[in-house]
Every structure is written in structure tokens, then in C-alpha cells.
Amino acid sequence: MKKFVESVGFIVFAQGAAGLLYEWTGWFRLWAVVARLDFLDRYGIFVSAVLVVTGAAVMIAGDSIRT
């Protein structure tokens, strides 16, 4: 379970980082889910930053799970 939570946290973190890179440089559109969702057009940077922080928090929380 610990590895699963850490993996999910990494995926969320990577999506946020890819979204920020897309907003700043225009690259990584294929990776960034935020860039593909039309209703998040104006909030791309904010949503990507929230994904980065959430992913980091989930990865940190995964360390507290006992096996």
C-alpha cells in the first residue's frame, strides 16, 4: 500500500510539473492533463501548482504508512 500511495503522489506531482512546464514554455502538452481540459484554460498555472503541492504531500504522507 505504501508503494501505491507514493506512486500516485509521484504521478500527481509529475502532472503538476508538466502542466507548469506547458504553461511557461508550451512544451509537454501530451503529458499535461491540465492542458487538455478546456474548462481549466484560464487556471492552468494555479491548478498545476496545486497538483505539485498535493503530489508532494501525498508522497510525504506515504512515508507514514506502516507496512
What is the model's pLDDT at position 65? 82
Tell me the three cell numbers of residue 56: 508532494
67 pLDDT tier (thresholds 50, 70, 90): low
Mean pLDDT of 6-10: 95
Tell whether the model's pLDDT for residue 61 goes beyond 70: yes
What is the model's pLDDT at position 6? 93
Q: Is the pTM of this model over 0.75?
A: yes
Mean pLDDT of 24-29: 83
Is residue 24 classed exposed, middle or buried when 0-12, 13-18 and 19+ CB atoms within 10 A define those classes? exposed
* First-last CA distance in the chain: 8
Tell me the pLDDT of the chain averaged across its residues: 90
